[in-house]
Chain A
Amino acid sequence: MKKTFIYLILILGSIVFVYPFIWMLSASLSPESAISNLVLFPTSPSLNNYSQVLDKIPAARSLLNSLLVSLVITTGVIIFGSMVGYALSHLEFKGKKILFFIIIFTMTLPFQLTLIPQYILMVKFQWVDTYLALIVPYFLNGLSIIMFNQYFKSIPVDLIDAARIDGCSEFTILFRILWPNSLPAIITVGIITFMSSWNEVLWPIIVIRDEHLMTMPQLITLFAVGGRAESQLGVKLAAAAMLAFPVIVAYAFFQKYFIQSMASSGMKE
């Protein structure tokens, strides 16, 4: 009896969190006049709204831009983050405490403070309207270092000492021995970094004005805000659905990793 009640509430909850997405898909496939119906399936589905979006903005190009930017950032964060994480956890050097302090400092620093001067830096470097402006400022971050540092600490020192006796360089040890033994940490850092750079909108809006270099969330945002959707709801929703689609597909296959990674990043901060 009590269990039935709990299941009922949980199912109602799932409807509240999932139904709006289904409605979005259904509405984006419907003609303008039928959008505000509560239906689950469109009565006369057509891809008209989607073809209008593709006519008006370079959506395919922006998808490639987003993939490129997010993948390069993720690679950089994993390589350089694990290097610092390794130095902190298994190497001895002067200034370790200062380095820790710097990392914590950068993690507590609100982005609202660096927004303006970082933009000025981009102007002075002449990086405005280039991929460099999207990638380089995000190429390294403190959170990944802390996560790698903690994971590497759990790897037995004997393993590393044995490799040193065999004559491996520190870089070989990191990339050939620690990396294959740290897949969970790499996956977690990878997902968090990829997701946060994929979803970033404010920074791209500031540094990119050329439509062909825009990331997908940026392009869709400006499309929804500007007049080009001509206040047609169906077209706006089709643009939003196109943006949601890749992430929802990836989530459907790897939801366990998504949930674990994003929850663990919450716990670290």
Chain B
Amino acid sequence: MKSNKIVPYLMIAPYLIHFLVFISFPVLFSFFLMFNQWNIISPMKFVGLQNFYKLIHDAQFFRSLLNTLIFLVIHIPLQIIVALFFATMLNQKIRFIGFFRAAYFLPVVVSGVVITILWQQLYGYETGLLNRILTGIGIRKIGWLTDPSLAMGSIAIMATWKNVGLYIVLFLAGLQTVPQYLYESADLEGASAWQKFRYITLPMINPTMFMVVILSTIGGFSLFIEPYVMTGGGPLNSTLSSVLYIYKEGFFYYHMGYASTLGFFFAGIILLVIFFQKRYVERETR
């Protein structure tokens, strides 16, 4: 029986070692780096609060935050509306439900790189599929990725197309938990379809809604490969995401101290946003 005291620790040892080396050390080291200037090769130089000073005056970084905000404001509502729409359709006792679900889910499993290369062609100005359809029905061409005021929206639409299958499945699972008798009694009282949706469906699928908002938010804050491949952050920094900016500062200019400061600050914003979303939803459901 004596060995039983050690065994649990043997079981968790690999995880703890991994945590210490690859998570806790990097976090602490990153904190330390915020007060230094370092390009990895030459000796580290202590600069005090200079990185923070640089950050408050960094127009590009705030532009990247604004871009993320624009992305989220378009992406989240669009995602919820499209996903709820298809989930409601699929929830009508229809046949071939497995086929439809599998079709909508296809872009979810395919690598983001594939989706981005594919959509870069669809969005092409001269020969892109979308502009050819538009000119075909007599509308003029749109600069999906070349117009600074549209480019982030175009990326948000693409991201919605890629991810919405997952949220359709989640909403469908949520809708199926709504007890049927609630709708039947609402029918007896003469409720309209909209009233049933507003006062029965929406409150019942609130947990799913919350999950969708959080997952899309995390996804939006992680935006990297889409602008990296499609636009390089342009035109005029209009698609520069924060991760792309940190990547450039760290691995293009080798400003390790400043990139760490950006990383810390950005992570703080992410956690704050998610914290307030959580608080808001909890208050709404109470």
- Say whether A associates with B: yes
Q: Which residues from chain A sit less than 8 Å from chain B, CB to CB?
A: 3, 6-7, 9-10, 13-14, 16-18, 20-21, 23-24, 27, 35-36, 38, 80, 83-84, 86-87, 91-93, 99, 102, 106, 108-121, 123, 136-137, 139-140, 145, 169-171, 174, 195, 198-199, 201-202, 206, 217, 220-221, 224-225, 233, 236-237, 239-241, 243-244, 247-248, 251, 255-256, 258-259, 262-263, 266-267, 269
Q: Given contacts A120-B29, A195-B109, A255-B105, are A109 and B23 in contact (CB under 8 A)? A: yes
Q: Given contacts A91-B11, A269-B214, are A240 and B106 in contact (CB under 8 A)? A: no
Q: Are B22 and A17 in contact (CB under 8 A)?
A: no
Q: Are B260 and A202 in contact (CB under 8 A)?
A: no
Main secondary structure of the interface of B (DSSP, over half): helix
Q: Are A267 and B211 in contact (CB under 8 A)?
A: yes
Q: Are A263 and B166 in contact (CB under 8 A)?
A: yes
B158 to chain A, nearest CB (A): 10
Main secondary structure of the interface of A (DSSP, over half): helix
B163 to chain A, nearest CB (A): 10
* Closest CB pairs A-B (n = 5): A117-B26, A93-B8, A36-B127, A113-B267, A14-B103
Contacts of A263 in B (CB 8 A): 166, 169-170, 173
- Any A CB within 8 A of the CB of B234: no
Q: Are A116 and B33 in contact (CB under 8 A)?
A: yes
Instruction: Give the residue name and chain of the A residue nearest to B15 (CB).
Output: A84
Q: In the complex, what distance in Å separates the CA atom of A170 from the CA atom of B128? A: 60
Q: In the complex, what distance in Å separates the CA atom of A236 from the CA atom of B114? A: 10
- Any A CB within 8 A of the CB of B238: no
Q: Given contacts A14-B103, A38-B132, A258-B105, are A87 and B266 in contact (CB under 8 A)? A: no
Q: Are B109 and A35 in contact (CB under 8 A)?
A: no
Q: Are B104 and A17 in contact (CB under 8 A)?
A: yes
A242 to chain B, nearest CB (A): 9
Contacts of A115 in B (CB 8 A): 246-247, 250, 263
- Any A CB within 8 A of the CB of B220: no
Q: Which residues from chain B sit less than 8 Å from chain A, CB to CB?
A: 3-5, 7-9, 11-12, 14-16, 18-19, 21-23, 25-27, 29-30, 33, 40, 86, 89-90, 92, 94, 98-114, 116-122, 124, 127-129, 132-133, 161, 165-166, 169-170, 173, 211, 214-215, 218, 221-222, 224-225, 228-229, 232, 242-243, 246-247, 250-251, 256, 259-260, 263-264, 266-267, 270-271
Q: Are A240 and B89 in contact (CB under 8 A)?
A: no
Q: Are A114 and B23 in contact (CB under 8 A)?
A: yes
Q: Are B267 and A201 in contact (CB under 8 A)?
A: no
Contacts of A13 in B (CB 8 A): 86, 89, 100, 103-104
Contacts of A6 in B (CB 8 A): 89, 92, 94
Most buried by A among B8, B19, B89: B8
Q: In the complex, what distance in Å separates the CA atom of A222 from the CA atom of B10? A: 42
Q: Contact check: which of A83, A87, A248 meets B106 at CB < 8 Å?
A: A248
Contacts of B21 in A (CB 8 A): 121
B157 to chain A, nearest CB (A): 12
Q: Given contacts A7-B94, A266-B166, are A87 and B8 in contact (CB under 8 A)? A: yes
